[in-house]
Structure 1
Amino acid sequence: MALARNRRSAGGSAEYWPGFVDALSTLLLAIMFLLSVFVLAQFILSREISGQDEALDRLNGQIAELTQLLALERSNAQDSEDEIASLRASLGQLEDERSRLQSALDSGSGSAAAANATISALQDNLEEEESISQRARSQVELLNQQLSALRQQIGALESALEASEERDQESQTKIADLGRRLNVALAQRVQELNRYRSDFFGRLREILADRENIRIVGDRFVFQSEVLFPSGSADLQTAGTDELDQMASAIRDLAREIPSDINWIVRVDGHTDNVPLSGTGQFDDNWELSVARASSVVKYLISQGVQAEHLAATGFGEFQPIEEGSTPEVRRRNRRIEFKLTER
């Protein structure tokens, strides 16, 4: 690492740009991951709140129905009480009539037989009214019991509503805590991967710094295609395998140092110039050629002991040039194989 810093110091201000691009790329990856976590948390929270709202709507509907039933029962109870009051008034009138007749009988006015018959009739009416009054009292008692049961149900529903609100609050708290923990874990993983990426590129700089056809562009190592492949071919040549042996050794050393819980890959990207293929060769277009060259490099690295799960091959054809233009030098620089350490 010290040697790498000395070389950067010797290189002057040109070494600042790769580090700046590296930092921007790392920041962009972290922001994208944070946005993904935030969207996921928002989605989970929305589903949880939606479920709570549906439960609350059902409870409100039940409370409204119970309130209507309670109002109806109260109306029936009031009617029964009015009927009892009317019966009691009638009973009072009958008692008054009985007293009047009894007084008349005692004073000797009227016929005793007629008076007794009237009294007997009045007693029958009184017993009937008392029976009606008893039934009314029974109905009032039943209504009071039903009213008490309705009040208990309303109390239970209110308790259930409070418990639901508490669970909703707990869910929101858990989601917020999960987001904080994910942010911390993400920051730790980014820091760890950045440290290993810095070590990896530092070693490769020391090994490959004096190679004319190998360059560092941002956070990538760039091999010119002429070093690895003959023109229009995806078959590795001897000079290219010598360079890739050193790359394979560096990747194997990196794999032993990075913890197993960090998902990482070395992405191998194939690029071509903008000259169309003739169509008479092995490949129909630059897409196929770039993919085939990236795959050849990956397969060779695997043959040298690099684990396949830490490698990926991609092809971009001529559509991701380093420089725009059609001069021979620009086309030569655009024909390349890039290596980039990133998260899987």
Structure 2
Amino acid sequence: MARRRRKPYTGPDAWPGYVDALSTLLMVVIFVLLIFVVGQTLLSAALSRRQHALEGLEGRTTALAQQVQSEHMLNDTLSTTVSALQSQHDADAAALAALRIADQNQISSLDDEVSELNTHLVAAGQAASENDTQISDLTKKLNDALGTKAQGISHYRSEFFDRLQSVLHNQKGVHITGDRFIFQSELLFPPGSADISEAGRKEIITLARTLREVTAHIPASVPWILRVDGHADRQPVHTAFPGNWELSSARAITVVKLLVAQGVSPAHLAATGFSEYQPVDNNDTPEAYARNRRIEFRLTER
């Protein structure tokens, strides 16, 4: 007998229709959840941004509040300062007004005093006008007397120096400096000595004669005097004199005594020694030493 072929058994249907429905529902749920999650994420991000914005606004609000508070404090300080300045201004204005009143009173008082002084000045002017002529005459006489005194001795000094220079014929070692007629010591004295040489004696005799001729015309009211000043150099003295003080003084005295012997009144003579302390040349050379050793004559008033 032929074997019957059987169809394989497939059993009952394993994928019923509700499975598809459940799958669809699950997908819908997952999609909804996905949408929810995405929305939640976006919402969280938006909320975070808003939170940051709110925090920034709160910070700005706090800063603005502090600034407003500072402005209020500054405004209060300025108000206090303005009030104090206003008070000071009012006080200064009151003081100024008081000073103006006081000044006006003082000006009024001064006007009265000026008016009174003007009255006295007019009276004094009238009295002084009577003495103007006498005052003018006295002033002229005084000026004439002062002029005569001022130029008197100067005139005779110039005449004395001019005559003496003319007589000496511009001799070397003799010159005029300002109000002084100067002889170098070598023209009158040997080195280190106060004994006048013969040539020096002739020079002093010539000077004495010229002095007598000029001073004969000087009025007795002019108290003239011929000062003889002895000067030395800074070199040590190796003679009988202890030092340059003694040497310079002794030379001046020698010249004065010779002038007296030649008829010049001793009342019009003075001898002075300056040692080395009035040099005309501060150099340490033989030429400078020679210039500093000198006898000076000054015709002046006592």
Partner of 2:187: 227
How far did residue 180 of structure 1 move? 8.3
1:299 counterpart = 2:299: no
Q: Measured at CA, do residues 294 and 179 of structure 1 come closer, stay the same or move farther in structure 2, by a change above 3 Å?
A: farther
Q: Which amino acid aligns with 1:262?
A: V
Q: Which amino acid aligns with 1:301?
A: L
2:233 aligned residue? 273
- Root-mean-square deviation (CA), in Å? 2.6
| Aligned-partner SS, 2:216 | helix
**Cα shift at 1:312:** 0.9
Aligned residue number for residue 18 of structure 2:
none
Cα gap change, 1:287/1:179 in structure 2, threshold over 3 Å: closer, same or farther?
farther
> Which amino acid letter does the alignment assign opposite residue 179 of structure 2?
D
Whole-Å Cα distance in 1 between the matches of residues 152 and 253 of structure 2? 28
Shift in Å, 1:187: 2.4
Q: CA separation in 1, counterparts of 2:253 and 2:211?
A: 17
Distance 1:274 1:325 in 2: 10
Matched, 1:331 2:289: yes
Q: Does 1:314 align with 2:272?
A: yes
CA offset at residue 217 of structure 1? 1.5
Deviation at 1:183, TM superposition (A): 5.6
Identify which of 191, 207, 213 aligns with 2:173.
213
Structure 1 runs of 4+ aligned residues shifted over 2 Å read 177-187
- 1:30-72, CA deviations, whole angstroms, 9 ceiling, x for partnerless residues? xxxxxxxxxxxxxxxxxxxxxxxxxxxxxxxxxxxxxxxxxxx
In structure 2, C-alpha distance between the alignment counterparts of 1:179 and 1:285, rounded to whole Å: 53
Instruction: Kindly indicate whether residue 203 of structure 2 is the aligned counterpart of residue 254 of structure 1.
Output: no
1:286 aligns to what? 244
Q: What is the letter of the counterpart of residue 217 of structure 2? A: E
Q: CA deviation at 1:210?
A: 2.8
Instruction: Give the TM-score of the pair, scaled to structure 2.
Output: 0.53
C-alpha separation in 2, matches of 1:309 and 1:178: 33
Displacement of 1:275 after TM fit? 0.6
User: Which residue does the alignment assign to 2:74?
Assistant: none
Shift of the alpha carbon at 1:218? 1.6
Aligned pair in 2 of structure 1 residues 329, 260: CA closer, same or farther (>3 Å)? same
TM-score normalised by structure 1 residue count: 0.46
Q: Report the counterpart of residue 65 of structure 1 in structure 2.
A: none
5+ residue gaps, structure 2:
1-123, 129-136
- Kindly tell me: are residues 226 and 261 of structure 1, through their superposed partners in 2, closer, same or farther at Cα, counting changes over 3 Å? same
User: 3-state DSSP class of the match of 1:257?
Assistant: coil
Could you say what secondary structure the match of 1:289 adopts?
helix
Q: Is 1:341 the counterpart of 2:280 in the alignment? A: no
Contact 2:196–2:254 (CA under 8 A) maintained in structure 1: yes
Query: Which residues in structure 2 correspond to 1:5-20 (within 5 Å)?
Result: none
- Supply the distance in 2 between the matched residues of 1:312 and 1:291 (Cα, whole angstroms): 11
State the identity %: 52
Structure 2 residue identity aligned to 1:226: E
Q: Tell me which structure has the larger Cα radius of gyration.
A: 2
- Give the Cα–Cα distance (whole angstroms) in 1 for the partners of residues 265 and 150 of structure 2: 22
**1:205 offset after TM fit, Å?**
1.6
State the distance in 2 between where 1:310 and 1:181 align. Answer: 28
Shift of 1:212: 1.0
Q: Does residue 236 of structure 1 match 2:187?
A: no
Task: State the alpha-carbon separation in 2 of the partners of residues 299 and 324 from structure 1.
Answer: 31
Paired position in structure 1 for 2:150: 190
Tell me the distance in 2 between the aligned counterparts of 1:216 and 1:285.
Answer: 28
> For 2:258 and 2:183, how far apart are their aligned partners in 1?
15
Contact persistence 2:156–2:215 (CA under 8 A): no
Deviations 1:83-135 (A, max 9, x none): xxxxxxxxxxxxxxxxxxxxxxxxxxxxxxxxxxxxxxxxxxxxxxxxxxxxx
Cα 1:315–1:181 change in 2 (3 A) is farther
Q: Note the C-alpha offset of 1:255.
A: 2.0
After superposition, residues 1-344 of structure 1 pair within 5 angstroms as: 184-278=144-238, 281-344=239-302
- Choose between structure 1 and 2: higher helix proportion: 1
Quote the offset at 1:326 in angstroms. 1.0
Structure 1 distance, partners of 2:140, 2:195, is 49
Query: Cα distance, 1:230 vs. partner?
Result: 1.2
Output the CA distance in 2 between the equivalents of 1:298 and 1:220. Answer: 16
Q: Unaligned 5+ residue runs, structure 1?
A: 1-165, 171-176
- CA separation in 1, counterparts of 2:202 and 2:227? 19
